A and B are shown apart, each in its own frame.
Chain A
């Protein structure tokens, strides 16, 4: 029965790490996309932008309280553990920076549940 015990432990860990937080990940994704959609100048008033930004921050705090960190920062160095590249705008560059987050990533209790999908390039490209 050992295999089953081990599997139960693994499943319990997997449930903690993934299944339980999946609805939260979906919600965080949606708020992230909402904020990103309206960040172009002129699409929203400053106050509207502030509303969306505040909701995202609150979401981020809530996620943090559950041990969940969003990987959404742009302008940071590319880290192959945290980021999965979908496009490199500077193929000749050896050192890359995250120019755009296409899909947010998540870390929980030190484990990368999903890397962020990102566009990378030289800092100047952004």
Chain B
């Protein structure tokens, strides 16, 4: 049976094993359907048997003296770690993780694995690299290559088609994992990738963001329960941390998250409940210093590499915590360019190691064709106006170009006038900040409940592989929600949940208008205008608006219908 060369990202917190199949890298789901394996080893206090991965992590609090975490920090050091009744070198403990990964991957693939490429941080010295090779050998593996982690990430993006053109050979890899942060600048010279500078913070990662949010939730709980001196017990802390992590993840895709949790604890026979809405803005203000710390390190690395921000040709994100929009925003602002993020940041390094393995054995590596959005999608907003027409012209992006699909993203916008009656949601695709230079995709009217100016309205886009975008507009604080689907290829908007209303016009005039809107002899612009006006008219009837308003809308509709009929007569 043919042996497989696997790539292994041997991480401080988690590890991943991947392989190249038919020219494409693939992470192997070795534990409970997931490819991400905790880098933890635990020994049974009774018989000394060994556990690795999730099961070892789950035992850590039960057997702290028998469990080892973050062994990567000790690689290359002449030290022994006591675990249970034995002591182990860092190489031995790492070998247990490598052996576990290789065995589980071998079971999954049904083929032996004896050759591997292992990644290491760019700052690893010779001793640390030798220790990593030795760990592989102790695991019974032939380590065919040691690759720098940022180099592996860059290797993946070598095989991802990109439409951004740059002559710069410099790539910046920003790696924010669960507990560590690394940043490297790489120079690409043909097939050779040289790390010019690398730095990081071994005590900064996504967990710090969770902890900030946990503390905030605790303060909020104290306020809501009117218990300023509440001391959290273990159970409360466990739940708050879990809520914080889930909220953080949700806020990567939407501007608000609602938290409704019951019975977080009991005080004097009363349950402690937590009920709040948390905005991304609040979360970002709680954690902005953490993002700023990473940016400070980025600047240091650039200085060390003797490069200006403008000389960096590509930005690559690695590590699950880079899903936070604040990270994208900070990098985009510093470098004035978008970041490459279409490959799963948790798996990117292992996938790169698998590609390196394939290249060593002479396998051809194909272009990694990812399902991504070809263009940015967004709506027209009032932030800027077209200088020639005086019309609003700002393109507010909701889903950025090259985002993996399916994807769902939401952003919040604000009304501009007191008692504003409606919003014309105009959807565009393109990369210009100006709508007039982008492509219009469709539009629809969203009637508003009466509210003061600057009332928030969320607009959510959910984009699937078939080119359909489900758009949901929601006026916060009101029971006013509208959903439409937008077919990007056909540039067609359809309402959801109002099919019956669409099929059953409210009266004869509306029926006639809808019939004319479908008449292909009429120009597209006229048909769209008829549909727009009839929708407003029908919504007004259903909402029971006053007579004067109804008369005004009916007159507007009749006028358009007259014009349309005249055009049809001209055609005939």
> B-contacting residues of A (Cβ < 8 Å)?
1-4, 6, 10, 13-14, 17, 30, 33-34, 36-38, 40, 42-43, 78, 80-81, 83-88, 94-96, 100, 102-103, 111-113, 115, 117, 119-120
Contacts and interface: CB of A to CB of B under 8 A. Distances in A.
B21 A83 contact: no
Given A2-B24, A4-B370, 16 more contacts: A2-B22, A3-B25, A33-B261, A34-B271, A80-B42, A80-B59, A81-B54, A81-B55, A83-B58, A86-B234, A88-B61, A88-B63, A94-B44, A103-B238, A111-B32, A117-B238
B371 A4 contact: yes
Contact of B263 (A1, A14, A37): A37
B521 interface: no
A32 to B, nearest CB: 9
B45 A94 contact: yes
B60 A87 contact: no
A40 B266 contact: yes
29 contacts: A2-B21, A2-B23, A3-B24, A3-B26, A3-B369, A4-B371, A6-B21, A13-B33, A33-B263, A34-B263, A34-B271, A37-B262, A37-B263, A37-B266, A37-B271, A40-B269, A42-B269, A78-B62, A80-B55, A80-B56, A81-B54, A81-B55, A81-B58, A87-B234, A88-B62, A88-B63, A102-B238, A102-B239, A103-B242
Nearest to B159: A3
A108 to B, nearest CB: 10
A109 to B, nearest CB: 10
B235 interface: yes
Counting chain A CB atoms within 10 Å of each CB, the highest count among B51, B58, B271 belongs to B58
B392 interface: no
A45 B33 CA distance: 44
A69 B559 CA distance: 63
Interface residues of B, number: 40
Interface of B: 21-26, 29, 32-33, 42, 44-46, 51, 54-63, 234-235, 238-239, 242, 261-264, 266, 269, 271, 368-371
A84 B57 contact: yes
Contacts of B59: 80, 85
Contacts of B33: 13-14, 17, 111
A12 B307 CA distance: 44
Given A2-B24, A3-B369, A43 B269 contact: yes
Contacts of B263: 33-34, 36-37
Contact of B32 (A33, A96, A112): A112
A85 B239 contact: no
A78 B277 CA distance: 37
Contacts of A2: 21-24
B239 A103 contact: yes
Contact of A33 (B24, B54, B62, B262): B262
B61 A86 contact: yes
B343 to A, nearest CB: 10
Nearest to A16: B33
B449 to A, nearest CB: 27
Contacts of A87: 61, 234
Nearest to A43: B269
B120 to A, nearest CB: 25
Contacts of A17: 33
A4 B235 CA distance: 41
Contact of B26 (A6, A100, A111): A6
B61 A85 contact: yes
B43 to A, nearest CB: 11
Contact of A80 (B22, B32, B58, B235): B58
Contacts of B55: 80-81
Nearest to A13: B33
Contact of A102 (B26, B45, B235): B235
A43 B494 CA distance: 53
B431 to A, nearest CB: 24
A30 B60 contact: no
Contact of B368 (A3, A81, A103): A3
A126 to B, nearest CB: 15
B38 to A, nearest CB: 11
Contacts of A10: 29
Contacts of B271: 34, 37-38
Nearest to B33: A111
Nearest to A44: B269
Nearest to A107: B32
Contacts of A38: 271
A17 to B, nearest CB: 6
A30 to B, nearest CB: 5
A94 B46 contact: yes
A83 B235 CA distance: 15
Counting chain A CB atoms within 10 Å of each CB, the highest count among B56, B261, B263 belongs to B263
Closest 7 CB pairs of A and B: A37-B263, A3-B24, A85-B62, A84-B58, A80-B55, A33-B263, A85-B61
Contacts of B235: 100, 102
Nearest to A96: B62
Contacts of A111: 32-33
A86 B24 contact: no
B262 A85 contact: no
A88 B62 CA distance: 5
A30 B262 contact: yes
A83 B23 CA distance: 39
Nearest to B27: A10
A42 B269 CA distance: 9
A39 to B, nearest CB: 10
A1 B369 contact: yes
Contacts of B242: 103, 117
Contacts of B51: 80
A14 B33 CA distance: 8
Nearest to B271: A37
